[in-house]
């Protein structure tokens, strides 16, 4: 089941761009099961990260890496009171509203054989071809057939 984590931060004045840049250069691909991670500015010096995950187990498995990333950001962050420098929450989705998210899929397109014009006008063995290629019926002058071939 889809799971989400949300982490709230308050950044020290003047360090906002450093905070954004640090997230921009972080290796989001290193989080197995993460569908997407979004950094949101919620005020002058406040931000939230929202992560969408394949399962809650993926969030649990990624916590050591997320804490490692946080350790590199601590000097940029202000205390949020008794919570420390972050206010994290996470859980499984219990309701999804709106149209379903579109998933990128690779669609296999069957390869078509190129048209073989020679085969299209040549008769197959044992099959009569188009009238212009047939021999004139015996006893007929064959004028019509010869005029088609000119």
* DSSP per position, 96-114: --SSPPPPP---PPPPPPP
- Report phi then psi at 62, rounded to 5: -85, -10
CB 55 within 8 Å of CB 1:
yes
Contacts of 22 (CB under 8 A, 6+ apart): 72, 73, 76
Q: Looking at the DSSP assignment, which residues form a beta bridge with residue 7? A: 49, 88
Q: In this predicted structure, what is the pLDDT of residue 96?
A: 85
| Domain 3-92 bears CATH identifier 3.30.70.100 | yes
Which pLDDT value is given to residue 82?
A: 85
Helix intervals (H) in 7-140: 16-25, 56-71, 117-121
pLDDT at 91: 92
Task: Specify the domain boundaries for CATH 3.30.70.100 within the chain.
Answer: 3-92
Distance CA 73, CA 53 (A): 22
Contact 7, 48 (CB under 8 A): yes
Low-confidence ranges of the chain (pLDDT < 70): 27-29, 101, 104-150
Q: Is the entire prediction scored with pTM above 0.85?
A: no
């Amino acid at each position: 089941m889809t799971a989400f984590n949300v982490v709230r931060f308050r950044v020290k004045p003047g360090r906002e761009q450093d905070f954004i840049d640090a997230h921009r250069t972080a290796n989001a691909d290193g989080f197995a099961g993460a569908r997407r991670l979004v950094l949101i500015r919620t005020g002058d010096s406040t931000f939230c990260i929202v992560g969408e995950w394949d399962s809650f187990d993926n969030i649990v498995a990624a916590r050591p890496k997320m804490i490692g990333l946080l350790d590199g950001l601590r000097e940029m962050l202000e205390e949020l009171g008794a919570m420390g420098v972050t206010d994290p929450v996470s859980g499984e989705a219990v309701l999804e509203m709106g149209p379903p998210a579109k998933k990128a899929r690779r669609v296999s397109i069957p390869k078509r054989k190129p048209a073989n014009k020679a085969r299209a006008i040549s008769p197959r063995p044992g099959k009569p071809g188009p009238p212009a290629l047939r021999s004139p019926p015996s006893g007929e002058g064959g004028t019509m057939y010869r005029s088609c071939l000119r």
